Amino acid sequence: MLKLHHAPNSRAGRIVWLLEELQLPYELNRMEFHPRALKSDEHRARHPLGRVPVLEDGDVMLYESGAIIEYLIARHSNGTLKPAVDSPLFPRYLQWFHYCEGMVMPPINTIVVQTLLLSPERRNEEILGQARRLLTKTLEPLNEALSGRDFMIGALSGVDFMLGHASYMARQLGCMPEDMTHLHAYVKRLEARPAFDKGIKT
């Protein structure tokens, strides 16, 4: 059986969402989002930096949320959630899949550090402001791409488990202006999916 090592309010929520959408049986190891759990010797044996998510599938141990999503789609989705290599949608799929961690998540990471992880005396308002402005800017192409589409490449795909989760986080951080109407509607569509709701709340 698949086993997911998970901590709340992390990228591991993407994987719970995907597992639920695929209706795959899995075991969940809920971990405290705290160094005493994540940096333990036991968890470092799974991930050398003590991060989540980590997926176990038999003899396979895999970390990095994007890699886990690609793996689950390739091995456990029966050919769904990803266009074929010769599909005209395949380049678009690749672009948006990697846009998530390349462009959207870096400023989100900075905002989380500057507002939640650092003690108040160590926070830097200039760095925080720069990250907020950059995050909003990275969302603009997503809003444009969603014009006339329910999901990032048309139908639900692996891209949405990456960018949908990131867009939800960006909205929660207050960096999605109201005039990004396509993006707001997209996040609301995702929130209406029971599997997404479970991924976020687990």
Structural domain of residue 17, as residue ranges?
Answer: 2-76
The reply to whether 106 and 170 lie within a common domain is yes
Residue 38's pLDDT is: 94
- Count of domains forming the chain: 2
pTM: predicted TM-score of the whole model, two decimal places? 0.96
**Is position 61 within any domain?**
yes
Whichever domain contains 20, its CATH number is 3.40.30.10
Q: What angle do CA 108, 142, 70 make, to 5 degrees?
A: 75
Q: Which of 4, 19, 18, 16 is nearest to 52 (CA)?
A: 4
- Residue that has been written with the tokens 């003590």 in this structure: 50
**Is position 83 within any domain?**
no
What are 63's strand-pairing partners?
54
The reply to whether 177 and 100 lie within a common domain is yes
The full DSSP string for 27-44 is EEEE--SSHHHHTSHHHH
The reply to whether 179 and 138 lie within a common domain is yes
Residue 34's pLDDT is: 87
The reply to whether 97 and 133 lie within a common domain is yes
**Is position 81 within any domain?**
no
Q: What angle do CA 69, 108, 103 make, to 5 degrees?
A: 65
The reply to whether 45 and 100 lie within a common domain is no
**Is position 201 within any domain?**
no
Please list the pLDDT of the chain residue by residue as tens digits (202 residues): 999 999 999 999 999 999 999 999 999 999 998 889 999 999 999 999 999 999 999 999 999 999 999 999 999 999 999 999 999 999 999 999 999 999 999 999 999 999 998 999 999 999 999 999 999 999 999 999 999 999 999 999 999 999 999 999 999 999 999 999 999 999 999 999 999 999 999 8
Boundary-marking domain end, from 53, 76, 99 = 76
Whichever domain contains 189, its CATH number is 1.20.1050.10
Q: Which of 64, 162, 173, 170 is nearest to 116 (CA)?
A: 173
The reply to whether 111 and 178 lie within a common domain is yes
The reply to whether 185 and 136 lie within a common domain is yes
Quote the distance between the C-alpha of residue 188 and its chain's center.
Answer: 16
**Is position 120 within any domain?**
yes
